[in-house]
Structures are given as structure tokens and as C-alpha cells.
Amino acid sequence: MKSRNRQAQARNRKGQALIETAVAAIFIVPIALGLLDVTTMVLCNQINDSVAKNAARAAANQPNQTSAQQAAQNVFNHISHSSIITSVGFNAGGFKYSSSKDGVMVQSRMDVNLPVSIAGFQHQVFIAQSVQPIVSE
């Protein structure tokens, strides 16, 4: 009789552990998926900032507006696209070359598809701007 009682207690403990694990997973899985999206947004924002800065630097080293815009475009062309980063380029009106040698302004736009669609936030657009002084002669 004691043996049956011990077996029943062991089954109850196993069942209790299974239920506790399932309840914990209900909370942990959405938090982990949300953190994946947040991490993706932070990384893509940093990449976009870096691209804008590099494009502005490349443009600032050019002697005229045409070659400056082409140099900035070349920076955008070297960004590899994926299922997450769908496009990178100039934002509308996102290139200004000041002929008075004040500087070059580049505004980049990055379209990002998030890996986990939570609450309708599947697609994000990041815009970054960088201004660099013209250093070419």
C-alpha cells in the first residue's frame, strides 16, 4: 500500500512540474520573441546610421555634386539585402551638396521586415541623416 502511495505522489509531482513549465512558457516565449524584434530594430537602426555616415563621407570626398551623389549611391549599393533588410537608399530629398563648401547632407532610408510579427509591427522604416564637411578641392 505504501508503494502505491509513493507512485501516486511521484506521478503528481511530474504532472505538477509539467503544468508549471507550460505556464512559464506562456510568459517566456512572447517575451523572447519580443526581444528578438527589439534586437533586430536596434541592429538595423545602427546599420542605417552607419550607412548614412559612410555615404556622406564618400560624397564629401568628391569634387562636384554628380560624382558625390554617385559615391553615396555606391555605398548604398554595397549593402546586402536579405529577408530582414529589404531595401536601403536615399530618402526622398535625402541628398544635398552645398556648392559653397558647407557640407554634404545624406539622408538614408532602410526598409526592414521584422522576424516576428507582433501587434502589427511587421514592417519598419528607419531614416538616418548625416552631414559631413566637403574635403575635396
Summarised one tens digit per residue, pLDDT across range 25-66 is 899 998 998 899 999 999 999 999 999 999 999 999 998 999
Between CA 58 and CA 54 the distance in angstroms is 6
Burial degree of 3 (CB within 10 A; 0-12, 13-18, 19+) = exposed
Is this structure's pTM higher than 0.75? yes
Retrieve residue 133's grid coordinates.
564637411
Summarised one tens digit per residue, pLDDT across range 90-107 is 988 889 998 776 789 999
81 near 87, Cβ under 8 Å? yes
Between CA 11 and CA 112 the distance in angstroms is 49
